[in-house]
């Protein structure tokens, strides 16, 4: 956002010098990227009036006869807008242009050019080089030096944050500076002489959600031509290209007040205007000459035609060539509107068309600004061209009420760490345009409608800090004891960091994948079907919110398929139904990286061991019970129970997925966070010795060890302290298709030593239960 100093000073007569102003803007959060100085036109550049223009035979050049005061000189120009009846910037022989060129007389195709007619770029006052700087024919007396009326200008280039939509205008910046320095704010005039409107149009808004306000006004008896010199000087300093008085008045008002405007040639829209959704496949040729295809999500301004309507503008983005203002235009319809920011942003991004208009609408424009912006435009146009302004105002939608936000000065001081006087805080908000109601806390504040970013109390606290000064915030060490409403706020972060540290300690590499995933890839990896989609993604192949973490980790695994050590994890968000925080890990090789010895620790036991080690480091207990899960191999799939509660799955990736991705055997687990907390119980260290027994059970190969362990725990009695699997054996003399599971059992009485008879009795109950279940005890 470029803000010329002289333009800002029109709003604030007591504005400080540019160097001081830069400090003020930075303190307000309106960061100054650069302060550029635009020099005055060089000496020897004068105002000239074109008396006659004729083509140079056999060329695309024009021979101009230009009045430069004491004489009429001949110039040769190839500019498309070189014509009789306009004013130009003429560099006389001997003038030195900003790029160092020394102007002299020269012969071009047999015609002697006694100087150069300049473009804004050649003059050094703008970037446009596609045509001459075109001024009104009566702007100055011919021969007058331009530098006398075109002074040097300081331009502030501001780097604004998206939430400060109101600051994308000279008025918005002026408001902030006035509030900060307590200066008088002078508003520009917007009075007009109105006349009865000879004819006008009807306006119908079919999509009030996309356009909640549409205001139209009339201007007639127009003479299209260049805008005044001072207006062009400001537009060029702001980075805009002057075009003609109507278009320049819309741009001038937009830059000054912040409300984009559009002018239609009344002849082209006299049948009436309709604001509606575009039809799928509907096409429009915009002002840049490009044909663009629309969708049903786009909003258009259309004119009525037989049998319906046709677009004359892409709402909030750009007008169409079929209704633009031309030299033949004599009457215009001014459009001042308020559009839904989201709709404008989506359309502009999909069309790849970012304009000054869309840039403002998509950030949020004051819904109550259209009447004022329209009046300012008409004032300028009447001053510049003497046009007739109609007295009819078509306003569909009307003003919008202010929001209500509670405010507590004591809370503001606590958040900021300051001791600002409550009355000073309220006064700061009033200077920003807020209405403050109430006699004590909590006050009710009504932010102005141009501050669409002020919606909660913390927003108001920030404004108090900006206006009263962040330099008053003390530099003190953080309090050792946090405020009551912050107690425990860091707990979720600390728990997640503990998990990350533990996983890294187990040798896993952390991955951070995109939240957006391809629906086709989610389906390929047998993840839950996505429910939320992005309408206009940066990458068209990743337009769905992921429903699980492991598909992204499989992509990471595939990208690192040449690595020997392929153990990755991610802690992030997934969106199966509601948003969930999850932990996922994949293992596609050995758990421990090989050196001079063969690698070891592969497959399901290695990943399950890592999961158990994670639980141990977090002070929890974990079990896996065989259950089918869609992403997993039917024979290697289980539900993870963390501290006795189900929280995810673990197993081998489904064979179809492994084959499709060509990854080989892959093992995966995924858990939903926060993990169930373990019940904490503090006990004295055991005073009596344990009794230990080993038990080997022969079971069919397909029997999971947890089934036997459940029997041991159920029938082990009240003194069974621990039961763990320590060996699995297959081979002779066991029958084919069977395996031996060996468990270590620990018994302990809290108040005395158990006798062998007591332990044997408990073991007998366990053995009977195992035999009754159809298993055998191995000798």
What string of DSSP letters covers 329-396?
---EEEEEEEE-HHHHHHHHHHHT---HHHHHHTT---TT-HHHHHHHHHHHHHHHH--EEES--EEE
Confidence category of residue 541, pLDDT binned at 50, 70, 90: confident
The pair of three-digit structure tokens given for residue 719, joined into one six-digit string: 């003194």
The candidate with the shortest Cα–Cα distance to 725, out of 609, 644, 617, is 609
pLDDT tier at 298 (50, 70, 90 boundaries)? very high
| Cβ atoms within 10 Å, residue 345 | 19
Distance of alpha carbon 334 from the chain centroid: 31
pLDDT over threshold 70, residue 716: yes
pLDDT band at 601 (very low <50, low <70, confident <90, very high): low
Kindly indicate the confidence band of residue 769, based on its pLDDT and cuts at 50, 70 and 90: very high
pLDDT of 479? 67
Among candidates 12, 11, 144, which has minimal Cα distance to 67?
Answer: 144
Q: What is the mean pLDDT of residues 497-502?
A: 94
SS3 per-residue string spanning 452-504: CCCCCHHHHHHHHHHHHCHHHCCCCCCCCCCCHHHCCCCHHHHHHHHHHHHHH
pLDDT-derived band at 157, boundaries 50, 70, 90? very high
User: How far is residue 28 from each of residues 32, 160, 182, measured CA to CA in Å?
Assistant: 10, 11, 13
Res. 589 pLDDT band, cuts 50 70 90: confident
The closest of 219, 244, 449, 196 to 335, measured between CA atoms, is 219
pLDDT in tens, 11-39: 999 999 999 999 999 999 999 999 999 99
Q: How far apart are CA 365 and CA 169, in angstroms?
A: 11
| Separation CA 213–CA 209 (nearest Å) | 10
Dump pLDDT digits (tens) for 349-403. Answer: 999 899 999 999 999 999 999 999 999 999 999 999 999 999 999 999 999 998 8
pLDDT of amino acid 499: 95
Look at residue 448 and give its three-state secondary structure: coil
- Kindly tell me if the per-residue pLDDT of 595 is higher than 90: no
Q: 628-679, pLDDT tens digit by residue? A: 999 999 989 999 999 989 999 999 999 999 999 998 899 999 999 999 887 7
21 close to 105: Cβ distance less than 8 angstroms: no
- The confidence score (pLDDT) of residue 78 equals 92
Contact 311, 344 (CB under 8 A): no
Centre a 10 Å sphere on the Cβ of residue 163 and count the other Cβ atoms it contains: 14
pLDDT of residue 539: 79
What pLDDT is recorded for position 489? 77
Question: Does residue 594 carry a pLDDT above 80?
Answer: no
Report the candidate in 671, 677, 667, 622 with the shortest Cα–Cα distance to residue 649: 671
Tell me the C-alpha distance between 47 and 150, whole Å. Answer: 11
| Tokens, residue 444 | 């009710």
Cis peptide bond prior to 34, omega within 30° of 0: no
In tens, the pLDDT along 311-350 reads 999 999 999 999 999 999 999 999 999 999 999 999 999 9
pLDDT of residue 487: 74
Q: Are 778 and 694 in contact (CB under 8 A)?
A: no
**C-alpha to C-alpha distance for 208 and 108, rounded to whole angstroms:** 59
Q: What is the mean pLDDT of residues 162-169?
A: 93
Spatial distance between the Cα atoms of 582 and 574, rounded to a whole number of angstroms? 7
The DSSP line for 725-744 is EEEEE-STTSPTTEEEEEEE
* Cα distance between residue 639 and residue 622, in whole Å: 10
* Interatomic CA distance for residues 698 and 677, integer angstroms: 35
Average pLDDT across the chain, whole number? 92
Contacts of residues 117-121 at CB distance under 8 Å and 24 or more positions apart, as own/partner, are 117/48, 117/64, 117/66, 117/75, 117/77, 117/79, 117/82, 117/88, 117/89, 117/90, 117/91, 118/45, 118/88, 118/89, 118/90, 118/91, 119/79, 120/236, 120/241
**Dist. CA 568–CA 556, nearest whole Å:** 8
Euclidean distance between CA atoms 283 and 272, whole angstroms: 20
Residue 596 has pLDDT above 80, yes or no: no
- What pLDDT does residue 477 have? 75
User: What mean pLDDT do residues 291-318 have?
Assistant: 93
pLDDT at 72 over 70: yes
Q: How, if at all, do strands 720-729 and 738-747 pair?
A: antiparallel
Query: Do residues 687 and 748 touch, judged by C-beta distance below 8 A?
Result: no
Tell me the pLDDT tens digit for each residue of 515-536: 999 999 999 999 999 999 987 7
Q: Is the pLDDT of residue 140 over 60?
A: yes
pLDDT at 681: 75
For residue 488, pLDDT over 80 is answered with no
- pLDDT cut 90: percent of the chain above it: 83
Residues 276, 205: Cα–Cα separation, whole Å: 7
Residue 235's Cβ-count burial label (10 Å; 0-12, 13-18, 19+) is buried
Which residue is it, tokens 């002074």?
151
Q: In sequence order, which ranges of 486-565 are alpha helices (DSSP H)?
A: 491-505, 519-524, 550-559
Instruction: Report whether pLDDT(119) > 70.
Output: yes
Supply 91's token pair: 């560099």
CA angle 408, 414, 420 (to 5 degrees): 70
Q: Residue 474's pLDDT band (boundaries 50, 70, 90)?
A: confident
Q: Strand pairing partners for 446? A: 435
472 confidence band (pLDDT: 50, 70, 90): confident
What stretch of H or E contains 75? strand 72-77
What was the pLDDT predicted at 431? 96
């Amino acid at each position: 956002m470029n803000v010329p100093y002289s333009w800002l000073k029109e709003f604030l007569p007591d504005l400080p010098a540019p160097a001081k102003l830069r400090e003020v803007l930075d303190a307000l959060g309106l960061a100054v990227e650069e302060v550029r100085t635009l020099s005055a036109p060089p000496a020897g550049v004068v105002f000239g009036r074109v008396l006659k223009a004729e083509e140079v035979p056999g060329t695309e050049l024009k021979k101009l006869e230009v009045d430069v005061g004491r004489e009429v000189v001949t110039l040769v120009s190839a500019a498309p807008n070189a014509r009789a009846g306009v004013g130009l910037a003429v560099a006389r022989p001997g003038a030195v242009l900003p790029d160092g060129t020394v102007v002299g007389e020269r012969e071009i195709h047999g015609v002697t050019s006694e100087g150069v007619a300049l473009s804004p770029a050649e003059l050094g006052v703008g970037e446009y080089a596609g045509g001459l700087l075109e001024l009104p024919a009566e702007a100055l007396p011919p021969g007058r030096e331009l530098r006398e009326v075109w002074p040097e200008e300081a331009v502030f280039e501001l780097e604004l944050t998206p939430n400060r939509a109101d600051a994308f205008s000279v008025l918005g910046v002026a408001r902030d500076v006035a509030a900060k320095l307590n200066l008088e704010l002078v508003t520009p005039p917007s009075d007009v002489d109105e006349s009865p409107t000879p004819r006008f149009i009807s306006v119908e808004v079919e999509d009030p959600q996309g356009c909640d306000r549409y205001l139209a006004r009339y201007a007639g008896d127009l003479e299209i031509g260049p805008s005044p010199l001072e207006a062009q000087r400001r537009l060029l300093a702001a980075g805009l290209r002057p075009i003609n008085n109507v278009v320049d008045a819309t741009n001038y008002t937009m830059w000054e007040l912040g409300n984009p405007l559009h002018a239609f040639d009344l002849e082209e829209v006299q049948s009436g205007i309709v604001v509606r959704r575009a039809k799928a496949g509907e096409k429009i040729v915009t002002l840049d000459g490009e044909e663009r295809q629309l969708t049903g999500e786009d909003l258009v301004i259309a004119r009525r035609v037989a049998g319906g309507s046709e677009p004359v503008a892409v709402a909030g983005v750009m007008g169409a060539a079929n209704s633009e203002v031309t030299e033949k235009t004599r009457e215009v319809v001014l459009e001042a509107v308020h559009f839904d920011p989201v709709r404008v942003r989506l359309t502009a991004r999909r069309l790849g068309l970012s304009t000054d208009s869309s840039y403002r609408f998509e950030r949020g424009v004051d819904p109550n600004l259209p009447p004022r912006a329209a009046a300012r435009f008409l004032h300028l146009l009447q001053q510049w061209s003497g046009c007739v302004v109609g007295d009819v105002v078509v306003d569909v939608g009307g003003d919008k009420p202010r929001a209500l936000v509670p405010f507590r000065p004591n809370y503001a001081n606590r958040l900021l760490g300051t001791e600002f006087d409550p009355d000073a805080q309220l006064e700061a908000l009033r200077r920003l345009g807020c209405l403050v109601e109430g006699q004590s806390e909590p006050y009710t504040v009504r932010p102005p409608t141009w501050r669409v970013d002020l919606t909660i109390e913390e927003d108001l606290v920030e404004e108090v800090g900006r206006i009263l000064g962040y330099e008053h915030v003390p530099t003190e060490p953080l309090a050792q004891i946090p405020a009551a409403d912050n107690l425990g706020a860091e707990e979720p972060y600390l728990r997640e960091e503990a998990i990350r540290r533990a996983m890294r300690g187990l040798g896993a590499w952390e991955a951070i994948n995109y939240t957006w995933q391809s629906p086709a890839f989610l389906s390929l990896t047998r993840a839950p079907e996505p429910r939320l989609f992005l309408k206009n993604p940066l990458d068209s192949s990743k337009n769905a919110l992921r429903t699980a973490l492991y598909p992204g980790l499989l992509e990471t695994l595939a990208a690192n398929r040449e690595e020997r050590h392929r153990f990755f994890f991610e802690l992030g968000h997934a969106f199966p139904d509601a948003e969930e925080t999850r932990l996922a890990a994949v293992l596609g090789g050995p758990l421990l990286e090989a050196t001079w010895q063969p690698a070891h620790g592969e497959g399901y036991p290695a990943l399950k061991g890592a999961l158990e080690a994670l639980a141990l480091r977090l002070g929890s207990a974990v079990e896996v019970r065989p259950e089918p899960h869609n992403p997993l191999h039917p024979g290697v799939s289980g539900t993870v129970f963390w501290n006795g509660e189900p929280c995810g799955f673990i197993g081998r990736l489904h064979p179809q997925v492994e084959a499709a991705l060509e990854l080989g055997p892959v093992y995966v687990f995924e858990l939903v966070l926060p993990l169930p907390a373990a019940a904490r119980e503090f006990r004295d260290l055991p005073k009596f010795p344990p009794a230990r027994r080993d038990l080997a059970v022969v079971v069919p190969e397909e029997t999971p060890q947890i089934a036997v362990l459940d029997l041991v725990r159920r029938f082990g009695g009240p003194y069974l302290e621990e039961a763990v699997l320590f060996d699995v054996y297959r081979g002779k003399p066991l029958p084919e298709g069977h395996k031996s599971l060996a468990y270590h059992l620990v018994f302990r009485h809290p108040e005395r030593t158990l006798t062998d008879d007591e332990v044997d009795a408990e073991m007998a109950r366990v053995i009977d239960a195992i035999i009754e279940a159809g298993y055998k005890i191995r000798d």
